[in-house]
A = this chain, B = another copy of it.
Amino acid sequence: MRKGAATRERLLAIAEAAVLAKGFEATSIEEIISEAGITKSGFFYHFRDKNELAREMVRRYVEANDALFDDVFGRARELSDDPLQALLIGLKLLAEVMADLPNGHPGCLIASVCYQERLFDREVIELSARSVRSWNARFRGYFEEIAAVHPPRAAVDGGIIMGRMLRDPQRLERQIMAFRSFVGLAFAPAPAPPGRGGMS
């Protein structure tokens, strides 16, 4: 019972690393178990099939990620009462965490899933989509808190990956426009941001 849980955890960790490097289909069970030092029977005792492995892998990743975000932005919150300052501090902390990873960020498991969506069952891709939506909600929440204090000057959101994951075709368009307004802000003479009418 105790040993079983440890084995299971090891399998998930090994699988995650392999999937990030080669994709899900290209990651064979044989290779996972050979690294874990058990046999196929052991693997199939813990996971009924490869898709159950995927499910648990994604679940694990999402949980870890949420915990990290909660931790980072929670600590940031304690350092400043101004929500804008808190977010900026949080992002700085996050950047530091990422910078501390030994060989770069291993990559986003969700993005990997998204580019092989046909391989996974409903549950896995719903899990992924839900997780993306929760990140979205988190930042939207922060922005609304900030907007209540500081008047905003521009709007942002997703990208190609989010558009795929959430099945929202307009998201890419909005994202390009957001980048555009960022460019506008970055180079604009201090006040007077680029308005819609004056440009296209």
Residues of A near any B CB (own CB < 8 A)? 20-26, 84-85, 87-89, 91-92, 94-96, 98-99, 101, 103-105, 107-108, 111-112, 115-119, 135-136, 139-140, 142-143, 146-147, 150-164, 167-170, 172-173, 175-177, 179-180, 182-200
Contacts and interface: CB of A to CB of B under 8 A. Distances in A.
Top-9 shortest CB links A-B: A155-B195, A104-B169, A153-B192, A159-B200, A25-B26, A157-B198, A23-B116, A91-B180, A22-B118
A88 B184 contact: yes
A95 B180 contact: yes
A194 B142 CA distance: 14
Contact of A162 (B142, B179, B198): B198
Main SS of the interface on chain A?
A: helix
A92 B23 contact: no
B186 A153 contact: yes
Given A104-B169, A187-B153, A198 B118 contact: no
Copies in the complex: 4
Contacts of A158: 198, 200
A94 B186 contact: no
A30 to B, nearest CB: 11
Contact of A89 (B92, B103, B199): B199
Given A94-B176, A118-B22, A200-B89, A193 B194 contact: no
A25 to B, nearest CB: 4
Among A156, A157, A180, A193, the one with the most B-chain Cβ atoms within 10 Å of its Cβ is A193
Given A95-B173, A164-B107, A186-B185, A197 B115 contact: no
Nearest to A112: B115
Given A92-B177, A169-B104, A139 B199 contact: yes
Nearest to A27: B25
A171 B139 CA distance: 21
